[in-house]
Amino acid sequence: MKFILYAAMLAASVSFAQTPGVSPAATHWKLATGYRAESFHTQNIAQFAREVGVASGGQLTIEVFPNSTLAKLADIPQAVRDGVAQAGEAIMTGMVKDMPIAGADSVPFVVSTYSDAQRLWKLQRPGIEKHFAERGLKPLYAVPWPPQGLHSSKPVHSLADFKGTQMRTYNATTLRIAELLGAKPVDVAMVDVGKALAEGRMDSMITSALTGVENKVWGPIKYYYEINAWFPKNVVFVNTKAFDALKPDVRAAVLKAAGDAQTRGWAMSQALASSATEELRANGVKIERIPPDVDTEIKRMGEKLSREWVRSVGNEANTIFVPYYIK
């Protein structure tokens, strides 16, 4: 599947480059992503690239390089700044050291629905555009991963159930959650989740149902709670000079295709969130609601963590969360 999709993407770019009547001077972009060709994000990008080629009449072709074949995921923003690639994709939670405002994506227990996540993105986007512009980059669109839920080997009746247990952590947010819950943090990469569960090195984790399915967590994991802790987003962006060098009609084609990709990507994410949860259920994982008092407690935790984040980032963070909470 991976080879077929990648070959299709390459074929698409070649076919655009050979479109009859298109000048040999047609612009060719490289777009780097760290995700597999099978990822819904990459599939969405591939369609975006095809639509740009068609809408521009072949004046701009975009060749997609998945699975870190052009640059590693963490290095893609710099690769696009340096012109190694003209466009790229990165997860915003991975950009917080360079761009703290991107961390709004990983403040937990604040956003609980896709509509909430869209509202957060509208408030977050102006700041992201400003910081990207300072780095010679222009964001085109952003799409969330399915929401982060709670996978557990035991039923959860109260937050006290986590004390002394082993919780998977993989970033500052999950580390802080484990700390507040009194759980022992266990740093486990996504690719090692199945192994860590089999070895009894972790009892719970907060990640999407999709990640649970991809790692076949059923067996050690008995319960999944749709707490929608946060909706981490991937952002697709372009080198500003490369974008500005395009003809006006081609720039318009890129922006139109980007808007369509954002709408399509959010729908894909929501559909996958539902289908992945059902696949967990089909494999024996119990899909349960978090008890009401636990839900209240984690929302209070979210307010606490959002205040901590605002203090760490400064006044700029208020431009996101003040209007978000006021609604």
223-235 confidence digits (pLDDT tens): 999 999 999 999 9
As a whole number of angstroms, the distance between CA 132 and CA 157 comes to 43
182-219 pLDDT, tens digit per residue, is 999 999 988 789 999 999 999 999 999 999 998 999 99
Q: What is the CATH number of domain 148-229+285-326?
A: 3.40.190.170
**What percentage of the chain has pLDDT greater than the value 70?**
92
Q: Which pLDDT band, with edges at 50, 70 and 90, does 6 fall under?
A: very low
Tell me the two tokens of residue 23: 């000048």
Written as one letter, the residue type at 20 is P
For position 22, what pLDDT does the model report? 42
Q: Please report the pLDDT score of residue 265 as a whole number.
A: 98
Provide the pLDDT for residue 276.
97
The pLDDT of residue 20: 37
Burial 156-189 (b: 16+ CB within 10 A, else e): beebebbeebbbbbbeebbebbbeebebbbbebe
Query: Which CATH fold would you assign to the domain 2-93+113-144+232-276?
Result: D-Maltodextrin-Binding Protein; domain 2 (3.40.190)
Q: Where in the chain is the domain with CATH 3.40.190.170?
A: 2-93+113-144+232-276, 148-229+285-326
* Total Cβ atoms within 10 A of residue 325: 10
Q: Give mean pLDDT, residues 91-109.
A: 92
**Distance from C-alpha of 238 to C-alpha of 40, rounded to nearest angstrom:** 20
Asked if 94 contacts 73 with a C-beta cutoff of 8 angstroms, the reply is yes
Question: For the ranges 60-69, 144-153, 317-326, which has the lowest average pLDDT?
Answer: 317-326
Element of type H or E holding 53: helix 40-55
pLDDT band of 171, cuts 50, 70, 90: confident
268-277 pLDDT, tens digit per residue, is 999 999 999 9
At 167, the amino acid letter reads M
Q: What is the mean pLDDT of residues 144-155?
A: 96
Mean pLDDT of the chain: 91
Q: Does residue 167 have a pLDDT over 50? A: yes
Average pLDDT over residues 230-255: 98
Question: By the 8 A CB rule, do 149 and 209 touch?
Answer: yes
By C-alpha distance, which of 80, 24, 72, 26 is closest to 53? 26
